[in-house]
């Protein structure tokens, strides 16, 4: 039996799921690169990143050389949470594909 309660709400929301998937695919992302990949307003993107940061899933690094920019990366806790989330997706896929 699949435990749907394990589908972490913080990750399951579509916008945050897209962010977590991108962050999991590379060691770190500059804000502008994230924004270029996602079909999302600055307001939504920043709100979602802040939610993930507050949950401890995402780290933020502000660089002040030249022009300031912020980079984002998964924390160890964020990677673990995402792995747990993917494990549920895998069960859904196995069940759905028989």
Q: What is the CA radius of gyration of the chain?
A: 15
73 binds a second copy (CB under 8 A): no
Distance of CA 1 to the CA centre of its chain: 26
**Is 86 in contact with 51 (CB distance < 8 Å)?**
no
| Nearest-angstrom CA–CA distance, 13 and 28 | 21
| Nearest-angstrom CA–CA distance, 87 and 75 | 18
The site string for a second copy over 24-63 (x = CB under 8 A, - otherwise) reads xx-----------x-x------------------------
Minimum distance between the CB of residue 50 and a second copy, rounded to whole angstroms?
A: 19
SS3 call for 89: helix
Interface with a second copy (CB under 8 A), residue from 18, 47, 51, 75: 18
The site string for a second copy over 74-93 (x = CB under 8 A, - otherwise) reads --------xx--x--xx-xx
| Residue numbers at the binding site for a second copy (CB under 8 A) | 1-2, 4-5, 7, 9, 12, 14-15, 17-18, 21, 24-25, 37, 39, 82-83, 86, 89-90, 92-93, 95-98
């Amino acid at each position: 039996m699949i435990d749907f309660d394990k589908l972490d709400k913080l990750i399951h929301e579509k916008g945050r799921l897209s962010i977590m998937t991108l962050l999991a695919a590379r060691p770190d992302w500059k804000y502008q690169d994230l924004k270029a990949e996602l079909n999302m307003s600055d307001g939504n993107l920043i709100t979602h990143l802040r939610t993930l940061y507050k949950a401890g899933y995402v780290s933020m690094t502000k660089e002040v050389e030249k022009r300031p920019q912020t980079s984002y990366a998964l924390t160890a806790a964020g990677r673990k949470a995402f792995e747990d989330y993917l494990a549920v997706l895998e069960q859904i896929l196995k069940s759905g594909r028989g």
